[in-house]
Amino acid sequence: MMGGSASESAYRVLMGVLESRTGQTLSPSRIWRIEMSLKPVMQRHNIADLDALVAALVTSNSRQLLDDTVDAMLNNETYFYREYSLFDDIAATVLDKLREINKLRRRLTIWHCGVSTGQEAYSLAMLIAEQGEKWAGWQVDIVGTDVSYHAISRARVGLYSQFEIQRGLPVQRMVRWFDQTEGGWLVKADIRRRIDFSVQNMLTDRPPLASPADLIFCRNLLLYFSAPMRQKAFAKLRTMAAPQSFLVLGAGETVLGQTDQFVASPRLRGLYEPADQQVRRAAAA
């Protein structure tokens, strides 16, 4: 038995639905949580158990049920300034490097792929806002995409609970960039307007970038893909990356043995660069 009380075929169908819709697979450690994750969906749609849910998915053609089911199986874990030292490095060196690279066209495009409920994208927007004058006269676009429509809806609103607001966010930034409302802590409009959030499948959709991305955040997402899907994902990231750009992965993620599209940046610790660009630079040297 793979999980709780449902039949194995029900789990297989659900995992198939998740993979076909998002490219993601469920690790054994997540399979046992399926039933718990889907409980609210089953209650909302008045469905008794997982077997009945699978039957409804197969027979009802309900788009809403399908969206809700896939959404509930995704891991939307994120928080503000996740790995604080990384954001320190971005503020201290990465943004300066990107300003240098793009100084002639005065344009910066950031793509956060797998943005979830938006906390890390808002953290980036806060960093840029805090650098104020440095970016005067620049067009800075931040695009956040995620396959979860529920997560993107929340990201767009920018409203966070007391629990969420306390995770990783320094208090000085909290009072500077958030308003306290009856419903929670709302990101100020000046930060919200800097980010364009949209529902996208990174494997099949083209992100709405006005120009190739100079900085790509794709953290703790690729680990949910199978090896072939991960290769496809890296190829997509490379397609969307500017020649001189940087890729940021999750703390436990690497490109080593995963792809030859990106290599560790010799210029910025912990970041990755398009491999072909490095070859070109080495040849020119």
Partner 1 sequence: MSKSCLVVDDSKVIRKVARHILESMAFAVEEAADGQEALTFCRANRPDVILLDWNMPVMSGMEFLGAFNDLDYGHEERPRVVFCTTENSIDHIRAAIEAGADEYVMKPFDRETLEGKLQLVGVA
Sign of the alpha-carbon dihedral angle for 238, 241, 245, 251: negative
Binding-site member from 168, 192, 209, 242 for partner 1 (CB under 8 A): 168
27 binds partner 1 (CB under 8 A): no
Binding segment toward partner 1, per CB under 8 A, in 28-36, 146-154, 159-167, 237-245: 159-167
What residue has token string 């104020």?
132
Binding-site member from 55, 174, 186, 275 for partner 1 (CB under 8 A): 174
State the minimum distance, in angstroms, from the CB of residue 81 to partner 1. Answer: 9
State the minimum distance, in angstroms, from the CB of residue 16 to partner 1. Answer: 34
Helix (H) or strand (E) holding 262: strand 262-264
Sign of the alpha-carbon dihedral angle for 207, 252, 128, 103: negative
Q: At what angle do helices 63-73 and 8-22 cross, to 10 degrees?
A: 90
161 binds partner 1 (CB under 8 A): no
3-class DSSP state of 258:
coil
Binding to partner 1 in span 63-122, by CB under 8 A: 84
Residue (87 or 225) nearer to partner 1, CB? 87
180 binds partner 1 (CB under 8 A): yes
The token pair that represents 217 in the structure block: 């955040």
Q: Give the length of the chain.
A: 285
Helix (H) or strand (E) holding 94: none
Residue (14 or 126) nearer to partner 1, CB? 126
Q: Measure the CA–CA gap between 237 and 255, rounded to whole angstroms.
A: 12
The token pair that represents 266 in the structure block: 């010799």
Residue (89 or 196) nearer to partner 1, CB? 89
What residue has token string 């954001």?
87
State the minimum distance, in angstroms, from the CB of residue 160 to partner 1. Answer: 12
State the minimum distance, in angstroms, from the CB of residue 72 to partner 1. Answer: 23
Contacts with partner 1 by CB under 8 A lie at 84, 162-163, 166-168, 170-172, 174-175, 179-180
